[in-house]
Amino acid sequence: MKKKALRDNDADTTLGTRIYESIANEIIVGKLMPGHRLDEQSLATQFGVSRTPVREALRELGARRLIDLVPRRGGVVTQIGSEKLIDMLEAECEIEGLCARLAAHRMTAMEKGHLRELHEQAAGEEKSLTRYFEINKEFHDLICAGAHNSTLDGTARELRFRLSPFRRPEPSTDVVGVISRSTGEHSAIVAAILAGEAERAYEAMRVHNARVNLGAMKLLQSQPHPEESGPGNGRSRSQAS
Protein backbone atom coordinates (compact mmCIF):
# COMPACT_ATOMS: atom_id res chain seq x y z
CA MET A 1 0.00 0.00 0.00
CA LYS A 2 1.66 3.14 -1.21
CA LYS A 3 1.73 6.23 0.91
CA LYS A 4 -0.57 8.87 -0.46
CA ALA A 5 0.73 12.36 -0.97
CA LEU A 6 -1.18 15.39 0.21
CA ARG A 7 -1.41 18.73 -1.45
CA ASP A 8 1.46 20.96 -0.47
CA ASN A 9 1.32 22.82 2.75
CA ASP A 10 1.81 26.18 1.06
CA ALA A 11 -1.77 27.23 1.63
CA ASP A 12 -2.71 27.71 5.24
CA THR A 13 -4.78 24.64 5.68
CA THR A 14 -4.85 22.00 8.30
CA LEU A 15 -3.95 18.38 7.82
CA GLY A 16 -7.54 17.36 8.42
CA THR A 17 -8.70 19.63 5.63
CA ARG A 18 -6.17 18.37 3.15
CA ILE A 19 -7.03 14.79 3.97
CA TYR A 20 -10.69 15.63 3.57
CA GLU A 21 -10.01 17.08 0.14
CA SER A 22 -7.95 14.13 -0.88
CA ILE A 23 -10.54 11.56 0.13
CA ALA A 24 -13.43 13.61 -1.24
CA ASN A 25 -11.64 13.79 -4.55
CA GLU A 26 -11.05 10.07 -4.63
CA ILE A 27 -14.72 9.49 -3.97
CA ILE A 28 -15.84 11.89 -6.67
CA VAL A 29 -13.38 10.60 -9.19
CA GLY A 30 -14.49 7.08 -8.41
CA LYS A 31 -11.29 5.68 -6.98
CA LEU A 32 -13.10 5.04 -3.74
CA MET A 33 -16.30 3.30 -4.60
CA PRO A 34 -19.62 3.40 -2.76
CA GLY A 35 -19.68 0.86 0.00
CA HIS A 36 -15.94 1.06 0.52
CA ARG A 37 -15.03 0.97 4.17
CA LEU A 38 -12.83 3.78 5.46
CA ASP A 39 -10.63 2.66 8.26
CA GLU A 40 -9.09 5.35 10.42
CA GLN A 41 -5.90 3.54 11.19
CA SER A 42 -5.05 2.53 7.66
CA LEU A 43 -5.91 5.96 6.31
CA ALA A 44 -3.65 7.45 8.95
CA THR A 45 -0.89 5.13 7.87
CA GLN A 46 -1.46 5.85 4.19
CA PHE A 47 -1.26 9.59 4.71
CA GLY A 48 1.51 9.24 7.21
CA VAL A 49 -0.28 11.07 10.00
CA SER A 50 -2.00 10.17 13.21
CA ARG A 51 -5.63 9.21 13.52
CA THR A 52 -6.68 12.62 14.79
CA PRO A 53 -6.68 14.57 11.52
CA VAL A 54 -8.13 11.55 9.76
CA ARG A 55 -11.02 11.52 12.18
CA GLU A 56 -11.69 15.18 11.49
CA ALA A 57 -11.63 14.55 7.77
CA LEU A 58 -14.11 11.72 8.19
CA ARG A 59 -16.36 13.97 10.25
CA GLU A 60 -16.44 16.49 7.48
CA LEU A 61 -16.99 13.87 4.82
CA GLY A 62 -19.91 12.66 6.88
CA ALA A 63 -21.37 16.12 7.30
CA ARG A 64 -21.21 16.57 3.55
CA ARG A 65 -22.86 13.23 2.95
CA LEU A 66 -19.94 11.80 1.06
CA ILE A 67 -19.66 9.00 3.56
CA ASP A 68 -22.05 7.41 6.02
CA LEU A 69 -20.71 7.65 9.52
CA VAL A 70 -22.18 5.16 11.93
CA PRO A 71 -21.12 5.67 15.54
CA ARG A 72 -18.60 3.08 16.66
CA ARG A 73 -18.60 1.50 13.28
CA GLY A 74 -16.60 3.82 11.14
CA GLY A 75 -17.26 5.34 7.77
CA VAL A 76 -18.48 3.90 4.51
CA VAL A 77 -18.53 5.69 1.17
CA THR A 78 -22.15 6.66 0.66
CA GLN A 79 -24.26 4.37 -1.43
CA ILE A 80 -26.49 6.35 -3.69
CA GLY A 81 -29.41 4.08 -4.36
CA SER A 82 -31.39 4.44 -7.54
CA GLU A 83 -34.28 6.29 -5.84
CA LYS A 84 -31.88 8.75 -4.30
CA LEU A 85 -30.05 9.14 -7.57
CA ILE A 86 -33.29 9.88 -9.36
CA ASP A 87 -34.13 12.46 -6.73
CA MET A 88 -30.81 14.13 -7.23
CA LEU A 89 -31.07 14.14 -10.99
CA GLU A 90 -34.53 15.64 -10.80
CA ALA A 91 -33.44 18.26 -8.30
CA GLU A 92 -30.47 19.18 -10.44
CA CYS A 93 -32.70 19.48 -13.48
CA GLU A 94 -35.08 21.83 -11.73
CA ILE A 95 -32.51 23.94 -9.93
CA GLU A 96 -30.43 24.46 -13.02
CA GLY A 97 -33.63 25.48 -14.72
CA LEU A 98 -34.15 28.11 -12.06
CA CYS A 99 -30.61 29.30 -12.52
CA ALA A 100 -31.06 29.58 -16.26
CA ARG A 101 -34.16 31.67 -15.76
CA LEU A 102 -32.42 34.02 -13.39
CA ALA A 103 -29.31 34.11 -15.53
CA ALA A 104 -31.31 35.31 -18.53
CA HIS A 105 -32.13 38.44 -16.58
CA ARG A 106 -29.05 38.88 -14.51
CA MET A 107 -25.99 37.92 -16.49
CA THR A 108 -23.71 40.82 -17.23
CA ALA A 109 -22.59 41.54 -20.75
CA MET A 110 -19.25 40.04 -19.93
CA GLU A 111 -20.77 36.90 -18.56
CA LYS A 112 -22.94 36.57 -21.62
CA GLY A 113 -19.91 37.02 -23.81
CA HIS A 114 -18.09 34.36 -21.89
CA LEU A 115 -21.01 31.98 -22.28
CA ARG A 116 -21.28 32.57 -26.00
CA GLU A 117 -17.57 32.12 -26.47
CA LEU A 118 -17.55 28.87 -24.55
CA HIS A 119 -20.46 27.56 -26.53
CA GLU A 120 -18.85 28.43 -29.84
CA GLN A 121 -15.68 26.79 -28.69
CA ALA A 122 -17.62 23.62 -27.93
CA ALA A 123 -18.62 23.34 -31.56
CA GLY A 124 -15.01 22.69 -32.48
CA GLU A 125 -14.62 19.86 -30.00
CA GLU A 126 -17.06 17.28 -31.16
CA LYS A 127 -14.79 14.32 -31.06
CA SER A 128 -13.25 14.05 -27.62
CA LEU A 129 -15.81 12.98 -25.07
CA THR A 130 -13.52 13.86 -22.21
CA ARG A 131 -12.88 17.31 -23.51
CA TYR A 132 -16.56 17.76 -24.17
CA PHE A 133 -17.37 16.85 -20.57
CA GLU A 134 -15.05 19.56 -19.36
CA ILE A 135 -16.61 22.18 -21.56
CA ASN A 136 -20.05 20.99 -20.62
CA LYS A 137 -19.32 21.27 -16.95
CA GLU A 138 -18.10 24.81 -17.40
CA PHE A 139 -21.19 25.58 -19.43
CA HIS A 140 -23.46 24.61 -16.58
CA ASP A 141 -21.18 26.32 -14.09
CA LEU A 142 -21.33 29.57 -16.02
CA ILE A 143 -25.09 29.60 -16.21
CA CYS A 144 -25.55 28.80 -12.55
CA ALA A 145 -23.05 31.47 -11.60
CA GLY A 146 -24.89 33.85 -13.90
CA ALA A 147 -27.97 33.53 -11.73
CA HIS A 148 -26.13 35.66 -9.19
CA ASN A 149 -27.57 33.72 -6.35
CA SER A 150 -24.84 32.03 -4.40
CA THR A 151 -27.24 29.73 -2.60
CA LEU A 152 -28.79 28.31 -5.74
CA ASP A 153 -25.43 28.23 -7.44
CA GLY A 154 -23.91 26.40 -4.50
CA THR A 155 -26.73 23.91 -4.40
CA ALA A 156 -26.47 23.19 -8.10
CA ARG A 157 -22.72 22.94 -7.86
CA GLU A 158 -22.91 20.48 -5.01
CA LEU A 159 -25.38 18.37 -6.93
CA ARG A 160 -23.16 18.28 -9.99
CA PHE A 161 -20.27 17.43 -7.71
CA ARG A 162 -22.02 14.51 -6.11
CA LEU A 163 -23.47 13.33 -9.38
CA SER A 164 -20.18 13.45 -11.23
CA PRO A 165 -19.26 9.84 -10.41
CA PHE A 166 -22.30 8.83 -12.43
CA ARG A 167 -21.22 10.86 -15.40
CA ARG A 168 -17.78 9.66 -16.07
CA PRO A 169 -17.15 9.81 -19.77
CA GLU A 170 -16.99 6.51 -21.47
CA PRO A 171 -16.43 5.64 -25.09
CA SER A 172 -19.96 4.59 -25.82
CA THR A 173 -22.12 4.26 -28.83
CA ASP A 174 -22.34 7.15 -31.19
CA VAL A 175 -20.20 9.72 -29.42
CA VAL A 176 -20.69 12.32 -32.08
CA GLY A 177 -24.45 11.90 -32.01
CA VAL A 178 -24.71 12.28 -28.25
CA ILE A 179 -22.50 15.32 -28.27
CA SER A 180 -24.17 17.04 -31.16
CA ARG A 181 -27.62 16.57 -29.70
CA SER A 182 -26.46 18.11 -26.43
CA THR A 183 -24.76 20.92 -28.26
CA GLY A 184 -27.94 21.65 -30.12
CA GLU A 185 -29.91 21.92 -26.90
CA HIS A 186 -27.20 24.07 -25.46
CA SER A 187 -27.66 26.39 -28.39
CA ALA A 188 -31.28 26.88 -27.50
CA ILE A 189 -30.36 27.66 -23.91
CA VAL A 190 -27.66 30.09 -24.90
CA ALA A 191 -29.91 31.84 -27.37
CA ALA A 192 -32.64 32.29 -24.78
CA ILE A 193 -30.25 33.61 -22.18
CA LEU A 194 -28.51 35.99 -24.56
CA ALA A 195 -31.91 37.27 -25.62
CA GLY A 196 -32.88 37.72 -22.00
CA GLU A 197 -35.88 35.48 -22.37
CA ALA A 198 -36.12 33.99 -18.91
CA GLU A 199 -39.01 31.58 -19.32
CA ARG A 200 -37.62 30.21 -22.53
CA ALA A 201 -34.22 29.69 -20.92
CA TYR A 202 -35.94 27.96 -18.02
CA GLU A 203 -37.81 25.59 -20.26
CA ALA A 204 -34.84 24.93 -22.51
CA MET A 205 -32.65 24.03 -19.58
CA ARG A 206 -35.25 21.78 -18.02
CA VAL A 207 -35.94 20.01 -21.28
CA HIS A 208 -32.25 19.52 -21.83
CA ASN A 209 -31.57 18.20 -18.36
CA ALA A 210 -34.70 16.10 -18.37
CA ARG A 211 -33.66 14.37 -21.55
CA VAL A 212 -30.12 13.76 -20.39
CA ASN A 213 -31.21 12.54 -17.01
CA LEU A 214 -33.90 10.35 -18.42
CA GLY A 215 -31.21 8.63 -20.41
CA ALA A 216 -29.10 8.19 -17.32
CA MET A 217 -32.04 6.79 -15.42
CA LYS A 218 -32.90 4.33 -18.13
CA LEU A 219 -29.35 3.14 -18.20
CA LEU A 220 -29.47 2.78 -14.46
CA GLN A 221 -32.68 0.84 -14.30
CA SER A 222 -31.71 -1.47 -17.11
CA GLN A 223 -28.96 -2.72 -14.87
CA PRO A 224 -29.70 -5.65 -12.58
CA HIS A 225 -29.23 -4.41 -9.05
CA PRO A 226 -26.21 -2.32 -8.15
CA GLU A 227 -26.80 -3.28 -4.52
CA GLU A 228 -23.48 -3.36 -2.80
CA SER A 229 -21.84 -1.79 -5.78
CA GLY A 230 -21.72 1.74 -7.03
CA PRO A 231 -20.85 3.64 -10.12
CA GLY A 232 -17.78 2.17 -11.65
CA ASN A 233 -18.92 -1.33 -10.98
CA GLY A 234 -21.82 -1.55 -13.30
CA ARG A 235 -20.15 -0.27 -16.39
CA SER A 236 -21.56 2.00 -19.02
CA ARG A 237 -23.65 4.38 -17.06
CA SER A 238 -22.49 7.71 -18.32
CA GLN A 239 -24.10 10.37 -20.37
CA ALA A 240 -23.13 13.56 -22.01
CA SER A 241 -25.17 16.45 -20.68
- Sheet strand arrangement including 67-70: 37-38, 74-77, 67-70
Q: Which residues 81-140 are close enough to bind a second copy by CB under 8 A?
A: 84, 87-88, 90-91, 94-95, 98
Q: Which residue's CB is nearer to a second copy, number 77 or number 122?
A: 77
Tell me the one-letter amino acid at 202: Y
Q: Is 155 in the site for a second copy (CB under 8 A)?
A: yes
Rule CB under 8 A: say whether 19 interacts with a second copy.
Answer: no
Least separation, in Å, of the C-beta of 173 and a second copy?
30
Closest approach of a second copy to the CB of residue 75, in Å: 13
Q: Does 151 bind a second copy (CB under 8 A)?
A: yes
At closest approach, how far in Å is the CB of 155 from a second copy? 6
Among 54, 104, 129, 159, which residue sits at the site for a second copy (rule: CB under 8 A)? 159
12 counts as binding a second copy under rule CB under 8 A: yes
| Residues 156 to 215 in contact with DNA, rule: CB under 7 A | none
What is the rounded CA–CA span in Å between residue 13 and residue 16? 8
Minimum CB distance to DNA, residue 26 (Å): 17
- Stretch 65-84: interaction string toward a second copy, x if CB under 8 A: ------xx-----------x
Kindly state whether residue 7 participates in binding DNA, applying the rule CB under 7 A. no
8 Å CB contact between 101 and 192: no
Say if CB 196 and CB 104 are below 8 A apart. yes
Contacts of DNA in 36-95 (CB under 7 A): 38-42, 49-53, 55-56, 71-75
Q: Which stretch binds a second copy (CB under 8 A): 37-45, 58-66, 110-118, 186-194?
A: 58-66
Q: Is 238 near a second copy (CB under 8 A)?
A: no
DSSP string, the chain: -PPPPPPPS-SS--HHHHHHHHHHHHHHHTSS-TT-EE-HHHHHHHHTS-HHHHHHHHHHHHHTTSEEEETTTEEEEPP--HHHHHHHHHHHHHHHHHHHHHHHHH--HHHHHHHHHHHHHHHT--S-HHHHHHHHHHHHHHHHHHT--HHHHHHHHHHHHHHGGGG-----TTHHHHHHHHHHHHHHHHHHHHTT-HHHHHHHHHHHHHHHHHHHHHHHHTSS--TT--BTTB-------
Which residue among 46, 79, 149, 233 contacts a second copy (CB under 8 A)? 149
Region for residue 48 given its phi and psi (left: phi exceeds 0; alpha: psi -120 to 50; beta: otherwise): left
User: Which residues make up the interface to DNA (CB under 7 A)?
Assistant: 12, 14-16, 38-42, 49-53, 55-56, 71-75
User: Which residues make up the interface to a second copy (CB under 8 A)?
Assistant: 12-14, 16-17, 52, 55-56, 59-60, 62-64, 71-72, 84, 87-88, 90-91, 94-95, 98, 149-152, 155, 159
